[in-house]
Amino acid sequence: MRKRICVIDGQGGGIGSTVIKYLRTAHGESIELIALGTNAIAASQMLRAGANRCASGENAICHTTESVECIIGPVSITWANAMLGEVTPRMAEAVTSSEAFKLLLPLFQENAEIVGVVSEPLPHLVQELVEKRLKEVLDHV
């Protein structure tokens, strides 16, 4: 059975699209990629990037995060009111409460900094996520 991986993004879906392209290249159809957007534009961009399915909005995120093995997205998907208010408190709670393993990218436009995290360009972060971290996670879920 294929592992179900949920990629969550908002605004224009650029981060999620990049993650999905790398995942699809590295894993082909051996994984099921579900794109969840905080809005329809983000979801459709991730679908174009290679997701198997997509949905958008609060209920889609709250429902789907209960049934996947892994959640990937920017760290701000765990912060209520992030992404100019696109991440609702209920969305953030659903992500953090999910039993799925979370791989969070330290990218955010909020007025915050995570001490100890080195700033890297998106392609470097995604490459590390796909080539190192995700393989370890998939072997254990």
Closest among 37, 34, 33, 30 to 13, alpha carbons compared: 37
Residues 2, 32 contacting (CB under 8 angstroms): yes
Cβ-Cβ contacts under 8 Å for 111 (sequence gap 6 or more): none
Tokens of 90: 């209920």
CATH class of 3-140: alpha beta
**Extents of the domains making up the chain:** 3-140
pLDDT by residue (tens digit) across 5-25?
999 999 999 999 999 999 999
Closest among 43, 45, 48, 40 to 6, alpha carbons compared: 43
Helix, coil or strand: residue 54: strand
pLDDT by residue (tens digit) across 115-138?
888 888 889 999 999 888 888 888
